[in-house]
Amino acid sequence: MSSKQMSVFRKRKITYIAAFAIILALYLFSSLITEFHISEGVRAFPDAVMWMAEKLIPDAKAFERFPKILEKLFETTLLSVAVTVIAAVCAFFFSLLGSKTTRLNGIINRLVRMIASFFRNVPDVVWAMLLMFSFGQNILTGFFALFFTTFGLLTRAFIETIDEVSSSSIEALNASGADFMQIVFQAIIPSSVTGLITWVLYMIETNIRSSTLIGILTATGIGYLFDMYYKRLEFGSASLVVLSIVVLVILIEMLSNMLRKVIQ
């Protein structure tokens, strides 16, 4: 083995050891700051699992409440779809302004990306609390809280999809004298539609999970139902809520996987 090869192996070894050391240091520092001790975690974990196996089982009372849970679950699904669809329509037109391929003004381009980044990064809990003041315990609180974050996320995702997919056909239609809106509808939408829909389906899935969180904060929807049973220590009913969310999310995941295959 030549000395050069040796040094490559040595370098790799040093990199691995350094990476490991940095990760270990990060962990130790973090556990110090957060007062998390692994021994505590390890000890708590089996207890928690035992507790879950014992208490987190739907009881007779839970099944009496099942129709109500289903109703809220249905409402949550509708909410997630509606938020995602409306946000997607807004995000699409917004992302046209932010895409490089449409060759609009560079300043507008940067501005749009900044606005999208802002909406994406303001936590949805902030929106939820802010809207609680004005909309109160209303489904619209959840709607708008989810809307802003979804809008920000989808704008970035759409910009990337459009940039990736359609630059060549945009050039061709530009060369044949088509105007901006014609190019949008005849080139950009047809070539990016599958990518856009994949993102929409993914966001619907995510929003069902997020709306649980928002629901806990704003006392609406399925999140509120869970929180209520949880605080009353009616774990049987709470577990049924969790189970139905799991079933719903998995169903939607399966459905969107199937759709993704069909629309390719």
Partner 1 sequence: MQNYTISGGSEAALSGVLNTSMMEHRRNGKIRIKSHSRSNIAIRILICGLIAVTVLAFVTFDYKDIDFAEAITATLHNIKTVFIQPRLERDTVTGVLYQLLVTFCLGIISTLFGAVLAFFCSLLCAKNIAFPVMANVIKSVVAIVRAVPTVLWVLIFAVSAGLGSVAAVIGLTFHSFAYLTKMYAEAIEEIDDGTIEALRANGADFWQIVFQAILPASLSSMVAWTFMRFEINFTNAVAMGAAAGAGGIGFNLFMAGSFYFDLHEMGFLTYVVVIAVIILETFSTKFKDKVK
Partner 2 sequence: MIRSETWSKQEMEGAAMPILEFKNVSKLYNGSTKALSNVNFTVNQGEFISIIGPSGAGKSTLLRCINRLIDVSEGTVIFDGEDITAVKGKELRKVRIKTGMIFQHYNLVDRLSVVENVLHGTLGRKSTLSGMAGHYTEDEKKLAFEIIESLGLSEQAYKRCDALSGGQKQRVGIARAIMQSPKLILCDEPIASLDPKASKVIMDHLAEINRTKNITCIVNLHQVDVALKYSQRIIGVSGGEIVFDGSPDELTQETIHRIYQSSSSDLITDVSGGQYEQ
153-212 residues in contact with partner 1 (CB under 8 A) are 193-194, 197, 200, 209-210, 212
Binding residue count for partner 2, defined by CB under 8 A: 22
> Tokens 């774990």, residue?
235
187 is an interface residue for partner 2 by CB under 8 A? yes
155-184 residues in contact with partner 2 (CB under 8 A) are 166, 168-169, 171-179, 181-182, 184
CB of 154 to partner 1, least distance (A): 14
CB of 34 to partner 1, least distance (A): 5
Dist CA 233 CA 236 (whole Å): 9
> Toward partner 2, which CB reaches closer, 106 or 177?
177
Kindly write out the interface string for residues 27-66 of this chain, putting x where it contacts partner 1 by CB under 8 A and - elsewhere.
x-xxx-xxxxx--xx--xx-xx--xx--xx----------
Q: Exactly one of 115, 130, 178, 228 binds partner 1 (CB under 8 A); which one?
A: 130
Report yes or no: 144 and 220 within 8 Å, Cβ to Cβ. no
Stretch in the footprint of partner 2 (CB under 8 A) among 55-63, 87-95, 189-197, 251-259: 189-197
> Toward partner 1, which CB reaches closer, 104 or 211?
211
